[in-house]
């Protein structure tokens, strides 16, 4: 039985990686079924055959979904758009990362200061006892 591949050669990388991820998912599902069945008193053929059938079924389902015209056209278009993307250079990426980390640290310090100020204020007006005092009464 030959498998007809819709628009063979187009979207090759996206479709191949999607199938690989789906087969990995099928393996995880089959392994889960195997662990559930391995502690039972069922026949060895059932304990190994059912997970194998689940693996084969999920793998076939993934291959069918990836090969559907609507799914395949979407993946082909996605791969085409990814080729048009202008990726940042290493220098730009490192610079942007530094900006994000610095901004995050500044915001953390500012939020800590505001939180501390509110704590002092609520302690001053006796709404909250957080600095010594009644000990949580």
Confidence at residue 2, expressed as pLDDT on a 0 to 100 scale: 63
What percent of the chain is predicted at pLDDT more than 90? 36
- Give domain limits for the chain: 12-84, 87-137
Q: Is 27 exposed, middle or buried (0-12, 13-18, 19+ CB in 10 A)?
A: middle
CA distance 57 to 47: 16
Question: What single DSSP character describes residue 79?
Answer: H
**What pLDDT, on a 0 to 100 scale, did the predictor assign at position 37?**
86
Contacts of 15 (CB under 8 A, 6+ apart): 66, 72, 75, 76
- Give this prediction's pTM: 0.56
Q: Is the pLDDT confidence value at 111 over 70?
A: yes
How far apart are the C-alpha atoms of 49 and 34, rounded to whole Å? 9
pLDDT surpassing 80 at residue 28: yes
């Amino acid at each position: 039985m030959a498998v007809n591949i819709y628009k063979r050669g187009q979207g090759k990388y996206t479709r191949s990686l999607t199938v690989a991820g789906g087969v990995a998912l099928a393996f995880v599902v089959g392994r889960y079924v195997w662990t559930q069945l391995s502690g039972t008193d069922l026949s060895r053929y059932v304990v190994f055959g059912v997970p194998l059938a689940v693996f084969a079924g999920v793998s076939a389902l993934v291959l069918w979904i990836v090969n559907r015209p609507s799914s395949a056209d979407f993946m082909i278009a996605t791969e085409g758009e990814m080729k048009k993307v202008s990726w940042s250079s290493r220098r730009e990426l490192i610079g942007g990362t530094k900006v994000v980390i610095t901004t995050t640290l500044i915001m953390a310090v500012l939020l800590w200061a505001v939180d501390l100020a509110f704590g002092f204020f609520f302690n001053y007006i006796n709404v909250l006892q957080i600095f010594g005092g009644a000990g949580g009464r």
